[in-house]
Amino acid sequence: MRTMATALLYDPVFAVHDAGAGHPESAMRYTALVRALEEDRETAGLPRLRPRPATESELASCHGPGYIDLVRRRIQEGRRSLGFPDTNVGPGSWDAAVHAAGGAMVAVDAVMQTDVQSVFCVVRPPGHHARPKQGMGFCIFNNVALAARHAQIAHGLERILIVDWDVHHGNGTQEIFYDDPSVLFFSTHQSNWFPYSGAVHETGDDAGEGFTINCPFPYGTGFAPIREAFLERLLPAARDFQPELVLISAGFDALEADPLGGFRLHPDDFTELTAIVRDIADKNGTQGRIISLLEGGYDLHSMALAALEHVRALAA
């Protein structure tokens, strides 16, 4: 029986990032999710955490200083893009992005230092495509990677598991940790789809060989193969790795209704995926510590339903 709390992290600052009229990564994603969480009787009473802005030195744990300067400068200049693929910005994007990264760190501190055991972070912009020196795919800073580095630097953790179930491969996260055996990165994603990475043979480099596990699936994939990958690939790897903290890149664009993906998952499928990750966190020396960070998900109705299933399963 779990006795510690599941918390939510959200704040209006995440609605000020404006990627432009008609852009799928809009503030309506934040609004729809927060409304659903606040109106659901099972999640409305959960403790709430507030984000803080990440410092530039904290951002530099995963991103080059030149890139950080570029992001700040282009936003200050009123540009509408960072100049990289699919990285639109607006006047409030710096504040949103540094609070998304800092919010992830607040969540790490909460599970390490308080009676909070798991946190779902409703942050935007998303992060898992952000590379060390390049924004990409709606992402500015890599929130999940920065959370992992913060856990290592601030709390001395040595083994961190990142589970990415977004329909798009988390290429930025993979790149940041590709030669690092202290982070096990596991991803299920659509093959031959943006960002066109994440092949089975991409397993890590040098000391990190074997600590990247990619499970690509074709267009039209339903829940059964994803579930099998979690059970047959993730569970044994996690038993061997013995993580001290589990992070989730929680994209909800693998849903059948999503306009930017080709998978056929349903909202209640995320109940079982969450249960599998909870089992890892409860049994492998992690003391149940899980931090989940919003990534993709662009059909507002199904995304909100799936996120509710996810949070209810975290809090069960």
Of 153, 154, 143, 48, residue with least CA distance to 97 = 143
Complete DSSP assignment for 36-68: HHHHSTTTTTS-EE---PPPHHHHTTTS-HHHH
Name the active-site residue from 63, 99, 129, 310.
129
Of 302, 316, 297, 315, residue with least CA distance to 36 = 302
Backbone angles phi, psi at 162, to 5 degrees: -115, 120
Tell whether omega for the bond before 259 is within 30 degrees of 0, i.e. cis.
no
Please say whether the beta carbons of 208 and 179 come within 8 A: yes
Instruction: Classify the C-alpha dihedral 124-79-131-72 as positive or negative.
Output: negative
129 catalytic per annotation: yes
Strand pairing category for 245-250 and 48-49: unpaired
**Adjacency order of strands within the sheet including 5-9:** 48-49, 5-9, 116-121, 290-294, 245-250, 160-164, 183-190, 212-217
Supply the residues annotated as catalytic.
129
